Amino acid sequence: MCGIWALFGSDECLSVQCLSAMKIAHRGPDAFRFENVNGFTNCCFGFHRLAVVDQLYGMQPIRVKKFPYLWLCYNGEIYNFKQLQKQFGFDYQTLVDGEVILHLYNRGGIEQTASMLDGVFAFILLDTANRKVFLARDTYGVRPLFKMLTDDGFLGVCSEAKGLINLKHSTSLSSQVEPFLPGHYEVLDLKPSGKVSSVELVKFHSCKDEPLHVAYDTVEALPSGFDLETVKSNIRILFENAVRKRLMSHRRIGCLLSGGLDSSLVAAVLLKQMKEININYPLQTFAIGMENSPDLLAARKVAAHIGSEHHEVMFSTEEGIQAIEEVIFSLETYDITTIRASIGMYLVSKYIRKKTDSVVIFSGEGSDELTQGYIYFHKAPSPEEAAEESERLLKELYLFDVLRADRTTAAHGLELRVPFLDHRFTSYYLSLPAELRIPKNGIEKYLLRLSFEDSSLLPKEILWRPKEAFSDGIASVKKSWFSILQDYIDQQVDDLLLEKAAEKYPFNPPKTKESYYYRQIFEKHYSGRSSWLPHYWMPRWVKATDPSARTLKHYKSATQE
C-alpha cells in the first residue's frame, strides 16, 4: 500500500505543486521520493512508500536498466509475478512484484499487461520512447486512483483526490477531478510540451469474465459441473487459494475480526495457512465495538476457537462522534452508510498502527456483494434479478465498501488485503446458476456457509450467524450506532436548514439531518465535488428511507431470537 502521484505538463513551478503530493503522505510513512522526468521538465512523479515487499529496492518510480525509457509508479500487490516470470522467462532486477508490469508491457503492450495481473493495483506507466502515458486500475478498484485532466492537456494523477484538488494551473480552464474507473486502462499521448491528450479508455476486465491469468495460476483446472458437492469443493479450493496468495509480505500480518461470517472465515483460513508455511508469529486479530456489542462477543468466540492473539478495541460515543470529521476528510465521500461503518474501522486502524506491529491487514470486504449477503436480498423478485443486483454492487464497490476499507486503513499507514475480491474466486462464484446463489431457508449467503459446514474452521453458531450491519454490530443491542449518531446530530442541525437542503445542495440533496450534517463537512473540505458520489447506497426492493439493516422488517438480531 503506497501513495502515488504524478503530473504531466504542469505550467506552475513543480516545487510548489509537490506540496499537493504531501496530502497523501499517510499512505506511505516509510519513505518519500519526488522525481522529475528526464527531458520533460514539467513532468514528475511523487511516491510515498509503505515497505511491504523488497525493502531494499522498492522505491519508485521503478526503472530498470533493461528498459531505461519506462517509468512506473504503482500502488498494489501483484500476486502472480513469480508465475509470470517462470512462464515468460522474465529477467527481474529487483524483488519488487510490480516490476513484472514493465516486462509484460515490453512483451505484449498495455492490454495484455493489465489483463495478466493477478492482484490489486493502480498504476501510472510512462514510455518516453513512444511518448505514451498509461493509467490502469484493478477490476474492483481495491486500490484507489483519481485523475484530473484540463482542456489544455495538463494531467494530474493521484491515489486520493485530496492530492489533486489544490493543484495550480495557469489557465482558467475547468479541471474535473474524478475517480479512475476500475477494470479500465487509459492510453494518453505525451506531447513534446509535456502535455497529454487522451487516446482511448478501455475496459480490460469484467467481474464475470474468467481472468486471462488463470492459465498461469497455481491452482490447476477445477472440476466442471454444478452438482452441489463439486461447487462446494471448488468454492473452498478457490477461497483458500485467494488467502494463500495474499500471504506475500515482509511485514507482520493481522486480521480484522467482527465475528461475522466473512471476517471469521478470512481469519480462520488465514491462521491455518500461516501455520502451514511456518510463519512463526501469532496472528493478531482485531475487533472494535462499544461495551458488550454483538461484534465484540462474537469475535471473542471466533478468536478463542481459532487461537489468535486477540485485541478488543473499545470506543465511547464521544470518541466515535469526535472522529466524524477526520473520517469524512479521509473518505472523500458523504455517503451515509459508508461514514457510519467507517468510524469503527478508522478507530481500529488507529489502534493497530499505534499499539501493534501488524501492517498488512486482512479483511472480509466484498463478500456481501458477491454472495448476496445484504438482508434485502431476501426480497429479490427472482434469482436472476438477485444475480444482476450482485453484479451492480460489485461494480460500485469502489464508491462504497472498498473505498471505506482502503481509506480508513491507509489513513494510518496500513495495507488492506481482501481475499473475497480475488479475480478467480469472484468470476467462479458469479458463473454459478443464479438459483444456487440466493438466500435459502431465510439465511443469506447460504451457499458460502454450506461450503464450509463440514470443515472445523468455525463454530457452527458463527458459521450460521445472521448478518449484522458493521455500523450496527459495533454498538450495543439496546441502541444501534446509527441511532446514537442521529440523536447527536439532531441537536446540531436546525430544522430550517434541512427544509432548504435541496436549494443549497441540488445534487443528491440530503433528506435527513444526519445526511445534511455529513454533507456540510464534506463540502467544507471538498467544495463543489459532490459528483464523486453518483448516488447514496440504499437497499433495493424495499421501501427503505435509511440504509441500515436494522430498519428492515426482515432484520432479526441474534438477541431477539
CATH number at residue 79: 3.60.20.10
Smallest CA-to-CA distance from 520 within 334, 342, 336 is with 334
What pLDDT was estimated at residue 559?
A: 37
Q: State whether the Cα torsion 103-418-54-68 is positive or negative.
A: positive
User: Known binding site for ATP: residues?
Assistant: 256, 288, 363-364
Residue-wise pLDDT for 385-418, tens only, equals 999 999 999 999 999 999 999 999 999 999 999 9
Smallest CA-to-CA distance from 431 within 139, 209, 230 is with 209
Confidence band for 180, pLDDT divided at 50, 70 and 90? very high
Sheet with 184-190: list strands edge to edge.
62-64, 67-78, 119-127, 132-137, 184-190, 196-203
Confidence band for 173, pLDDT divided at 50, 70 and 90? low
Whether residues 290 and 321 share a domain: the answer is yes
CA 557 distance to own-chain centroid: 27
Domain endpoint, select from 158, 175, 203: 203
DSSP character string of 489-527: HHTTS-HHHHHTHHHH--SS---SHHHHHHHHHHHHHST
373-378-380 Cα angle (round to 5): 105
Whether residues 307 and 452 share a domain: the answer is yes
**Is pLDDT of 53 > 70?**
no
Whether residues 56 and 153 share a domain: the answer is yes
Domain interval for residue 227: 219-549
Give catalytic status of residue 18 as yes or no: no
Q: Do the beta carbons of residue 334 and residue 403 sit within 8 Å? A: no
Tell me the C-alpha distance between 210 and 212, whole Å. 7
Please give the torsion angle defined by the CA atoms of residues 96, 98, 99 and 101, in that order, rounded to the nearest 10 degrees: 170
Residue linked to cell 494523477:
157
Q: What percent of the chain is predicted at pLDDT more than 90?
A: 77
Q: Which residue has the higher pLDDT, 191 or 549?
A: 191
Q: Is 34 inside a domain boundary?
A: yes
**Is pLDDT of 74 > 90?**
yes
User: Known binding site: residues?
Assistant: 97, 256, 288, 363-364
Q: Count Cβ atoms below 10 Å from residue 435 Cβ, excluding itself.
A: 13
Q: Is 555 inside a domain boundary?
A: no
Whether residues 76 and 187 share a domain: the answer is yes
Whether residues 174 and 238 share a domain: the answer is no
Tell me the C-alpha distance between 28 and 483, whole Å. 36
Cell of 131: 511518448
Q: Is 554 inside a domain boundary?
A: no
Domain count of the chain? 2
Q: Is 330 inside a domain boundary?
A: yes
Whether residues 224 and 178 share a domain: the answer is no
Q: Do the beta carbons of residue 396 and residue 330 sit within 8 Å? A: no
Whether residues 283 and 160 share a domain: the answer is no
Q: Is 499 inside a domain boundary?
A: yes
Helix, strand, coil fractions of the chain, as percent rounded to 5:
40, 20, 40
Residue 391's identity, in one-letter code, is E
What pLDDT was estimated at residue 434?
A: 98
Smallest CA-to-CA distance from 464 within 265, 283, 313 is with 265
User: Known binding site for L-glutamine: residues?
Assistant: 97
Whether residues 425 and 284 share a domain: the answer is yes
Residue-wise pLDDT for 235-269, tens only, equals 999 999 999 999 999 899 999 999 999 999 999 99
What pLDDT was estimated at residue 557?
A: 45
Domain endpoint, select from 168, 203, 238: 203
Whether residues 352 and 314 share a domain: the answer is yes
Q: Count Cβ atoms below 10 Å from residue 224 Cβ, excluding itself.
A: 7
CATH number at residue 346: 3.40.50.620
Smallest CA-to-CA distance from 305 within 333, 335, 283 is with 283
Whether residues 366 and 483 share a domain: the answer is yes
Q: Is 214 inside a domain boundary?
A: no
Whether residues 51 and 97 share a domain: the answer is yes
Mean pLDDT of the chain: 92
Please give the torsion angle defined by the CA atoms of residues 137, 143, 149 and 154, in that order, rounded to the nearest 10 degrees: -100
Q: Which residue has the higher pLDDT, 50 or 54?
A: 50
Burial of 266 (0-12, 13-18, 19+ CB in 10 A): buried
What pLDDT was estimated at residue 270?
A: 98
Running DSSP on this structure, what letter comes out for residue 142?
S
| pTM exceeds cut of 0.85 | yes
Average pLDDT score over residue span 527-533? 96
Residue linked to cell 488467502:
243
What pLDDT was estimated at residue 552?
A: 58
Average pLDDT score over residue span 132-149? 98
Q: Which residue has the higher pLDDT, 536 or 476?
A: 536
Catalytic residue chosen out of the listed positions 2, 44, 73, 158: 2
Give the β-pairing of 132-137 and 184-190.
Answer: antiparallel
Confidence band for 481, pLDDT divided at 50, 70 and 90? confident
CA 175 distance to own-chain centroid: 26
**Is pLDDT of 30 > 90?**
no
Running DSSP on this structure, what letter comes out for residue 440?
B
Domain endpoint, select from 179, 203, 227: 203
Whether residues 515 and 413 share a domain: the answer is yes
What pLDDT was estimated at residue 470?
A: 53
Cell of 449: 456457509
Q: Is 558 inside a domain boundary?
A: no
Q: Is 422 inside a domain boundary?
A: yes
Confidence band for 1, pLDDT divided at 50, 70 and 90? low
Average pLDDT score over residue span 56-81? 90
